[in-house]
Every structure is written in C-alpha cells, then in structure tokens.
C-alpha cells in the first residue's frame, strides 16, 4: 500500500432549525499533512465519473454504477496520492464532506483490524456522492462499502440534504455507526471519535448490523448505565487534551458562552444547542479561529507556553474551508450553495458558489503545483503567509476586507436568487459564479496589495535618517 497521507481537520454541522435561514449546513476545514498542497474546485459531470475505480493508496478496485449524478468536488491538484475530492454537492442537492480523521483504540482494532487494501479518505466522495439521493442514502451506501471492502483508517463523514444531517464514524476495519443530528442542534467535531450517547433502537441512528453484539461479546463497554461510543471505540489520550478537545471547547464556547467547560475535558458533548441561530459567518469564524480572546491565542498576549499549548482550528495546514449549505424556501435549482475558500483561513473569505452548474471559474479550477497568483489557491496562501508575519498589524485590513467582500458576494447572490425566482434560466448560475470568482479575486488581490504597501513602511530593515 502506498504510504498513508494523514489529514487533521475540524468539522461543524448545523441543523435546519439551528441555522439562521433554515438551511442545513455541513462544513469542514480540509487540513493536510503539509502546509501547501494545492487544491482545485471542479464539477464532475457524469461522463467524467469513472466506472471502474482504482485507489492509488490502497490499490483497491471497485466497479461503480452506470448512472452517476453530477457533483461539485475539491480535488488535489497533484494526483500522486489520488483524487482526494474532500467535499461536494450533487445534482439532487445532497452534500457530503469526507473526511474528519478520528481516533480509535487497541480494543476494537484487536477485534476488527484495519484493511490495508480497503477504502479511505482518498476515495469516499468519488465512491458515494454521485449515487445518493438523500443524506440517509449516503450513510447506507458508505456503510455497505465499509462492510464489503473495509478501511485502513478511522474517519468521520458528514452527509446532508435539505431536511437531515447525518454523521458517520468508522469503527475498526469494517464497522461503523451514524447519528442524525437533531434539527435544532449543532456539532463541533475535531480529530477524535465524536459520537457519545447512542441508542441502537432509535430512528435517528444507524450502524453495522453486528455492532451492538460485538460490544457485548467482547466486553467493550466501560460504562455501567449507558452506551457511549466515544468511550467504547474512541480515545482519551494526552494528545486529545491538547490537540482535539480544545477545538471542540472553543467552538462550543463561541456558540454557548454561558456554559463553562474545561478545554481539556475528554467528555465535551457531541450534540449541542446554541443560544442563538447560527450563520454562515459564525461557521467561518470558528473554522478560522485560533482561540481569540483567550490566553491560548497564537497571536495573543499570553505566555509562550499558553500560546503553544493547544492546536488551533485555523492553522497553516488549512488547504480549504468548505461550507455546504442546502437551503429551504428557494427553488431546488438554487438550493445547493458550495461556499469555498482556499489556504490558511485567517486571511480569506468563503465565496457562495452555486452548485447547480457544469463547470467552475478558472481562478478556482486551474491551480497546479507551480506558484501562480492568477490562481486563488496561491493568492490566498500568499496573503495568509504575509498576515502571519504580524497579525495585529494586518488584522484591521483583514476585517475590512471580509466585511466588504462578503457584502459584495451576498449582493450578487440576492440578485441571482431573485432572477431565478422570477423565472430566469439556470444558465445564469454559471455566470453568477464567474461574477463571484471575479469579485473574490479582485478583493483578495487588493487586500494583499494593501498589506504589502502598509507593511513595507514597518519593515525592520529600515533607518530613520534619509539622504
């Protein structure tokens, strides 16, 4: 098997009654193993979907159905380790984000070891998203693939339609469990097993058929009076206390500031209820965050020990942030919005691309392994790198940019929505995406230019006397 490539992401899920406008939202930072690993935003049309799939990492070969749906995708630009599609929305407005790398323990791996020739993050969107017609369908299809082919790694995967959100976590080599997120709830899921309380008989849960029996047969449940899948199949390590738990803590602190938790707590809840409705802007803020207004802020004024104690959510290894929004109360043709930004998230904005298109703008589609600031991936990475040199110096530039850019995107979106509702042909969606791309590229370029102009006056390589 080709060397496994690891990612370290953060996921946020928001039910339709918990969101500001009644949408379902699944979102994730797609974090990689390296600081730079170019990505692209594309549409996979049915003619381009493989019928005989072979993974690069594991070599597994899988025959795929002959009736794929069109879908958006965020693949790697360099395909040495496979496609890695990350996330997308298909033509029936079903969304999928894969994957959140999670944790496990030796007890379950001793019973159901990983499968070296199985499926993994490289493969999942390609194997599942084009063939599903609801979020629940996604869980069932992925579950059947896990049972048949096995997996070589532990992952969490999100699915949504306009009504439901489901979260699936793999368990060992062939097992899995999934839970429907309540409509009025949100989830912040870092790189650990996240599902806690689980009722095998409930309508809002699904699992591999023998999972409950496996728990009993091998005496895996450490609790006296509950079934908590994180306790049974997950981890509670020292690494969790500094790498994973603090990210869940900060997201929950942001949405529920009235609740006091310890950032290192191993039992932070999976299902949460915010004290207000959650917006796209809220989700983007949390996925870009670095413990602002706490002593743990990487760019803050705490001690060096505090600032480096916890792994931040926004990190140099962010390759993209995607927020997949399936809207209600609009025509189906404009329900799916694939919000997207590239690079480390501190100095970028998410752009609300319409998913019901057959192609994507060149600035977001054509990045490769060569540095080129005509491509949004490289432009975003450059801006983040400069911003990292003196965050407080450039923070106001970033804040102004984000407000003005997001306002401009929303104006384009409102105008496009209104035109579709008034009967315009859906061909205008591709034109709208081009406008959004042009607006984003123009504003990101201006931000970088403003930072360079202002920052050059504050360089350390200077002297106060002139000729």
Active site residue 9: yes
Place of tokens 């994180």: 230
Are residues 179 and 195 in contact, defined by beta-carbon separation less than 8 angstroms? yes
What are the b/e assignments for 43-75, b being 16+ CB within 10 Å?
Answer: bbeeeebeeebebbbbebebeeeeebbbbbbbb
Catalytic residue selected from 9, 43, 69, 323: 9
273 Ramachandran zone, left/alpha/beta (phi>0; psi -120 to 50): beta
Distance CA 129, CA 336 (A): 14
**CA trace torsion 318, 319, 320, 321 (10° rounding):** -10
| Rounded Cα gap, residues 446 and 295, in angstroms | 32
Q: How far is the CA of 331 from the CAs of 18, 21, 72, 335, 356, in angstroms?
A: 21, 15, 19, 6, 11
- Residue 298 to residues 290, 305, 353, 404: CA-CA distances in angstroms? 6, 10, 31, 26
Q: How many CB atoms lie within 10 A of CB 261?
A: 16
The whole-angstrom separation of Cα 394 and Cα 401 is 11
Pick from 246, 275, 273: nearest CA to 261: 246
Q: Are 406 and 439 in contact (CB under 8 A)?
A: no
Q: Identify the bridge partners of residue 119 per DSSP, sorted by sequence position.
A: 151
Active site residues: 9
């Amino acid at each position: 098997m080709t060397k496994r490539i690891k990612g370290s992401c953060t996921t946020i899920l928001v039910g339709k009654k918990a969101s500001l406008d009644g949408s379902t939202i699944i979102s994730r930072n797609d974090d990689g193993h390296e600081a730079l690993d170019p990505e692209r935003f594309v549409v996979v049309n049915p003619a381009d979907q493989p019928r005989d799939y072979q993974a690069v990492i594991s070599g597994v070969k899988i025959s795929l159905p002959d009736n794929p749906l069109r879908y958006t995708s965020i693949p790697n630009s360099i395909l040495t380790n496979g496609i890695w599609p990350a996330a997308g929305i298909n033509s029936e407005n079903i969304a999928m984000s894969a994957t959140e790398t999670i944790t496990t323990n030796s007890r379950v791996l001793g019973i159901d070891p990983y499968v070296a020739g199985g499926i993994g993050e490289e493969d999942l969107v390609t194997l599942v998203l084009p063939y599903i017609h609801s979020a629940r369908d996604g869980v069932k299809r992925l579950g059947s693939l896990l049972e048949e082919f096995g997996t070589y790694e532990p992952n969490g995967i999100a699915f949504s339609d306009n009504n439901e959100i489901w979260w699936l976590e793999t368990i060992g080599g062939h097992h899995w469990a999934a839970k429907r997120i309540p409509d009025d709830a949100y989830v912040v899921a870092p790189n650990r097993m996240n599902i806690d309380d689980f009722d095998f008989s409930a309508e809002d849960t699904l699992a591999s058929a023998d999972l409950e029996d496996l728990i009993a047969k091998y005496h895996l449940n450490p609790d006296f009076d509950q079934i908590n899948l994180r306790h049974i199949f997950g981890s509670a390590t020292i690494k969790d206390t500094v790498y994973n738990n603090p990210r869940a803590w900060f997201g929950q602190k942001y949405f529920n500031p009235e609740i006091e938790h310890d950032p290192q707590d191993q039992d932070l809840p999976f299902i949460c209820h915010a004290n207000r409705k959650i917006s796209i802007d809220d989700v983007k803020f949390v996925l870009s965050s670095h413990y602002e207004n706490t002593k743990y802020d990487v760019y803050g004024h705490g001690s060096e020990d505090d600032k480096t104690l916890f792994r931040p959510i926004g990190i140099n290894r962010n390759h993209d942030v995607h927020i997949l929004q399936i809207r209600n109360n609009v025509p189906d043709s404009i329900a799916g919005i694939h919000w997207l930004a590239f690079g480390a998230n501190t100095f970028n904005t998410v752009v609300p691309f319409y998913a019901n298109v057959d192609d994507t703008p060149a600035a977001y589609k054509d990045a490769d392994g060569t540095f080129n600031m005509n491509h949004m991936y490289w432009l975003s990475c450059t801006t983040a790198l400069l911003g990292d040199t003196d965050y407080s110096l450039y923070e106001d530039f970033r804040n102004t940019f984000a407000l003005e850019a997001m306002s401009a995107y929303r104006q384009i979106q409102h105008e496009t929505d209104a035109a579709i509702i008034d009967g315009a042909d859906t061909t205008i969606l591709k034109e709208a995406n081009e406008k959004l791309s042009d607006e984003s590229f123009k504003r990101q370029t201006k931000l970088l230019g403003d930072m360079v102009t202002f920052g050059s006056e504050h360089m350390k390589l200077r002297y106060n006397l002139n000729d």
